[in-house]
Structures are given as structure tokens and as C-alpha cells.
Structure 1
Amino acid sequence: MPTLLEARLQALESTLQQANITYQSLSPMADTGLAHDHVWIHRDGDDWVARLPKQSQMNLAPAENLAYEAACYERASQGGHMPCLHGILPVCDALPRGGLLVEAIEGRLAQLPEDLPRIAEALASLHQLPLPSQSAPLLAPSDPWQAMREEINRQAEWLEKADLSVDVIARVRDELEALPATLPDTQRCLISFDTHPGNFLITEEGRAILVDLEKCRYGLPGIDLAHTSLYTSTTWDLNSQAVLTLDEVASFYQRWQARMSQMQKGETPSAETLIACRRATWLWSLTWCAKWRAQHLNRQDAERRGEDWSAELTDAAVIAHVRDRVEHYLSLPIIQHVHNELIGLKASL
């Protein structure tokens, strides 16, 4: 009986042949994430990568999820720092969640803090894109701050179900109470919502490319800036771990602000809004950790209805790494560490 990986490769081969897509060979890429398998497609001239969903982090049915991810690549790539979309492999018996064919990016993993200026420019290229006349299928809440708070609160329902200590739950809920009800400025733009440093590759020419796009939406740019530079992001990926100093984080924000001002010749978000977005992004990550802690031992969703964090879908080493990070981030010393960083950064922006 073929392994899960062998079965996926056979299904991909069959689907590519049916679509009359020619290639020289297929090379499975390392299983490093919870949402996709990736296969490098060697072609004559321009290589592609097949992104094969394991689940939907947007909790969408397979066909809807595929359309959502395709829209992410189509729109974000217009900024020049994200891969182009080359095709869609529809949902079928062979690929029950379908797949995307995207531009293959040759590059090294981002290293911090030295690559932060390049990442700031990549994010600015995304955030300065004009708003479309039609936002669907991407999320575009009329009040992005309220939508973010609601999403965090939904995830926070898992705190009491994740077998956490009373002290940790109380500490996280204290931080939730500190989120402001409103912000002084809430101008929307296209954001990735998943910009941890492990999602960036640096090309030989020195450009930062954000390669993982599936959660894009029209929201607050401060969320992307936070997700790039928070402790819970910079220490997530084993191959690009770093603990940034306050000066390095502040310099990253300032580089983005300067680039946005050059592109738009307008005002960037206030320090108050940026700090609020940073706290909210951290709390989104903490409550996600609680949800994953509660759900990852569930059985795989055989009907493939949407979100699925079951450990059966992912390499055991990856699950062990995620478990280690989740336990670390939900510990009292690390919660206090990030809290202190928020206070310090507020004085630097």
C-alpha cells in the first residue's frame, strides 16, 4: 500500500496529465507546515510549486478554500513580492481538496534581524496596492478592528478547553481585557495575515518574497507588521529563529513607515493603532495555540469539511515542534516577556 505522500504524488501526476501540463519531474518538498503539502514541479524554463491543501485554515469547504487561496495569490502578487498563480487543480476524487500551481521561488530562508529591511519593503508593496471594486471572495469587514476582536474572542473560547492552568487562563484574559474597543485610525488595505519570518524567502537579488498566502483579507497593516516581528513569530520556525531587541523591532516598523510614505505620500497608522494591532495579533496567536492544544488529538475529518488540526495530517516531527512552541508561548514567563515588550515598544514608535 502506498504511503500518504506516495498517494498524493500519484494523484498529482494523474491530475497534471489530465490537464495536459507538461513537466520533467516532481520533487516532494519537506513537510514543514500544518495546512499544505508542497511539490516542486520541474519544468522546462520555469518551475512551479503545487500547493495541496491538507485542510482549510479559513474553515471553508474544499472548492471555496481553493478559490480563496487563488484570489490571495492573484491579488497579492501584483505587488511584486509574492509568487504568481499559474493554475488551479480542481477538487476531484484524486485530489479531494484540489491544489494550486504557483511560481517556484529560488531563495534562502529569511534571517533576522538582517533581513527585516527587505521584509518591510515586501510588506509595503502589498499594503500599498489599491483596493479593488469587488473584494470577494476575500474577507473585507467594514470594521476590521471589530472583526479582529471578534475572531480572537471566538478562539478564546478554547482557553478553558485546552487543559491550561488557571493562572495562564487568567493572564491571557487580562490581556484580552486590555484591547481597546476602538482605534483612532482603521484604514484598510490588503494584508497577508500570516507573515511570520519562516514564510519569506530571500532571492539571490536580495528581494524578500512572501511565499505562503492563504489567509489574505482587507484589514489593518499593523497586523502583518506584528506577525512578522512578535516573539511568537520570530521563534516559531526552527530555521529562522531570533529574539529581536526593541530597537530592532522599532527600526523594522520605521522602515515600513518610510517605505509606505514614499509610495503613498500619506499618513501611516498611529503608534496607538500599531501597538493595539500588535497586542491583538499576539492574542490571536495565543488563543490559536489554545485551540490547537485542544483539537490536535482529534481524529482526521474524513469528510474534509474545512478546518482540521488533527495530527494525522502532518509529519510527527512537525507536530512535536508545534507542540513545543504552543507550550512555550502559553507559559507565564513568555506571556510576561511579550507583555513587557509591548510596553517598551510603545515608547519607541
Structure 2
Amino acid sequence: MPTPLEVRLQTLENSLQQAGITYQSLSPMADTGLAHDHVWMHRHGDDWVARLPKQSQMDLAPADNLAYEAACYERASQGGHVPRLHGTLPVSDALPRGGLLVDAIDGRLAQLPEDLPCIADTLASLHQLPLPAHPAPLLAPADPWQAMCEEVSRQAEWLEKADLSGAVISRVRDELNALPVTLPDAERCLISFDTHPGNFLMTAEGRAILVDLEKCRYGLPGIDLAHTSLYTSTTWDINSQAVLTLDEVVAFYQRWQARMAKSPSAETLVACRRATWLWSLTWCAKWRAQHLHTQDTAHRGQDWSAELTDAAVIEHVRDRVEHYLSLPIIERVHSELKHLQTAL
């Protein structure tokens, strides 16, 4: 009886053969995330990685999600710090969410704080890309701040469904109420929206490559800066955890500002940091409420069921979710936000 992994590899082999794509061998990569399986494709000269979606974090139907992810790589790789897209494998009975074929990156996981300057350079290369005339299929809200606040507000509906204490819910809602209605300088650019440090690989040449793109949109660059350096991001990945000091966070922002032709105000950057933190907290509440649901066999959109992911990964996510939704950690991040605006 073949194992699930063996079935997955045979399915990928068949799909590659039907697409006329050649390779030498396939090596499954460790299951470290909630959204994709990854398989290293050994080839003559240039290795690729097959990214096989487990779900859509954008809550899209399979074909739409595949097109969205492909657009993320096509747009972001123009900055030179993202793997190139080589093709897609169509949605089929065998691959119910299809697959993407991208450059394999030979590198190590980013380590903080030492790799923060290189990560800042990578983000600047992304954020300075010109806006396209036609941004679709990527999200491009006319008011990116309002769109961010609305997304956080929708996720916040899960707070009361996640079996959290009244004290935690109250503190999170206090932070939500502290978000400004408008920002003075909310200019759009291409952002990743998922730049936690575990998504960067460092090459031998010292370049930081952002390898995981599926949520790109035209939004506020402060969201990416926050997602890279918030406590809820730097302590997320099991292999690259770090707790940054305020001085290290400030130096990271200043490095990015030095690489940009124009920077948002400190007020806007800190507002984006608060909103990104609240997006993470409300996502944690959503995951806490949903992850024990049964797998969605119709493959319709988001699916946080534990059946899709290695048990050790689920346990790690559960540990992080409980940690971030604890009152001491909420107060810790709140305190940092108070001090950051005056330091920038």
C-alpha cells in the first residue's frame, strides 16, 4: 500500500509528464507550512521547486488561486530578489489545486538580527517596482489603509468564536479601536503581505531571497516592514526565532528608508505595524476556531484543517497561537508600539 507521500510524488510525476517537463529526480521537502507542499526538482543546470497548494489563503477557488500565485511571482521577481516562475501545473483531479514551478534557491534560513539589512534591501527592491497599468488579478484597493482595516475587522469576528478569555478579547478590541481612521500618506506599492523571516533564504553571495509569495497586493509597504520585524513574526518560525530589541527594529526601518526614494511618515509606519500585528492576532483567533474542522474535500478556498499538515507543524502553530494570544505578550507588543514612533 503506497504511503500518502508516495501517492503525492506519483501524482506530481504524472502531471509533469503530461506537461512535457523533464527532470532527473524529485525530492520531497520538509512539511514546514500550512499552505503548500514543496518538492525539489533536480534538473540539468537549474533546479526548480514544485509548490503544491494545500489551500488558498486568499480564499479563492483552485484555478483562481493558481493564477493569483503565478501573478505574485511574475510581478515580484522583477525586483531580482524573488524566485522566477517557470510555469504552472493545471488544476486537475490528480492535482486539485494545481501547482507552480519556480526557481530552487540554494541558501540558508535568514537569521536575525544579522540578516535584517539584507532583508531591508530586498523589501526596498520590491517596494520600488513601478505600478502596472492593470494590476489584476492582484488586489489593488483604491484606499489600501481602509482595505487593511476592513480585513482585520472581518478576521476579528473570530475572537468571540475562539474560546478566548474575556480579558484577551477586550485587550485586542482596545487595540483595534486605536487604529486611525485615515493615514496622512498611504501610497500604494507592490507588497508581499507575508514577509516573516522564515520566508527568506540567504544565498552565498549575501542576498536575501523572498521565497514564499501568495498574498501579494498593491498596498502599504509598512505592512511588510512590520511583518518582518514584529515579535509575532520573528518568533514564529521554529528554525529562525529571535526577539529583536527596539534599537534593532529601528535600524531595520532606517536601512529600508535609506534604500527608498521616499518613505512614509513615522505615524503611518507605526499604524501599519499595529494593523499588521492585529491581523496576526485575529488570524490566530481564526485558526484556533477552525483548525479542528474536517478537511474541505471540495478544495474551495481556505482550509486550516489539521489533516493537511504534519502533526509536529500543527503542534508548533498551536503553541505560537496560544503564546501570541496571551495577555503578557499582547502587553509586550503594545509597549514596543508606544516607543517606536518616537524612535523612528
TM tier, shorter chain? over 0.9
Match of 2:276 in 1: 281
- Residues 151-172 of structure 1, C-alpha deviations (whole Å, 9 max, x = no match): 0000000000000000000000
- Residues 95-135 of structure 1, C-alpha deviations (whole Å, 9 max, x = no match): 11000000000000000000000000000000000000000
- Residues 235-256 of structure 1, C-alpha deviations (whole Å, 9 max, x = no match): 0001110000000000000000
Match of 2:166 in 1: 166
Q: Does residue 303 of structure 2 align to residue 308 of structure 1?
A: yes
Match of 2:114 in 1: 114
Q: Secondary structure at the match of 1:272?
A: helix
- Please give the alpha-carbon distance, in whole angstroms, between the structure 1 residues aligned to 2:269 and 2:89: 38
Structure 1 residue 2 displacement after superposition? 2.5
Structure 1 residue 300 displacement after superposition? 0.3
Structure 1 residue 3 displacement after superposition? 2.5
Match of 1:215 in 2: 215
Q: Secondary structure at the match of 1:236?
A: coil
- Please give the alpha-carbon distance, in whole angstroms, between the structure 2 residues aligned to 1:21 and 1:153: 44
Which of 337, 342, 345 matches 2:332? 337
Structure 1 residue 339 displacement after superposition? 0.2
Q: Point out 4+ residue stretches in structure 1 off by more than 2 angstroms.
A: 1-4
- Please give the alpha-carbon distance, in whole angstroms, between the structure 2 residues aligned to 1:340 and 1:2: 52
- Residues 228-285 of structure 1, C-alpha deviations (whole Å, 9 max, x = no match): 0000000000111000000000000000000013xxxxx3100000000000000000
Letter in 2 for 1:336: E
Unaligned runs of 5+ in 2: none
Q: Secondary structure at the match of 2:114?
A: coil
Written as runs of structure 1 = structure 2, the 5 A alignment for 1:147-166 is 147-166=147-166
Letter in 2 for 1:303: A
Q: Does residue 120 of structure 2 align to residue 104 of structure 1?
A: no
Q: Secondary structure at the match of 1:112?
A: coil
Letter in 2 for 1:344: H
Q: Secondary structure at the match of 2:129?
A: coil
- Please give the alpha-carbon distance, in whole angstroms, between the structure 1 residues aligned to 2:228 and 2:260: 17
Taking structure 2 as the reference length, the TM-score comes to 0.99
Match of 2:93 in 1: 93
Matched length: 344
Match of 2:123 in 1: 123
- Please give the alpha-carbon distance, in whole angstroms, between the structure 2 residues aligned to 1:343 and 1:335: 13
Q: Secondary structure at the match of 2:118?
A: helix
Unaligned runs of 5+ in 1: 262-266
Letter in 2 for 1:324: D
Structure 1 residue 5 displacement after superposition? 1.8
Taking structure 1 as the reference length, the TM-score comes to 0.98
Letter in 2 for 1:153: S
- Please give the alpha-carbon distance, in whole angstroms, between the structure 1 residues aligned to 2:4 and 2:184: 50
- Please give the alpha-carbon distance, in whole angstroms, between the structure 1 residues aligned to 2:235 and 2:287: 18
Q: CA RMSD in A?
A: 0.5
Q: Secondary structure at the match of 1:33?
A: coil
- Please give the alpha-carbon distance, in whole angstroms, between the structure 2 residues aligned to 1:281 and 1:309: 20
Q: Secondary structure at the match of 2:78?
A: helix
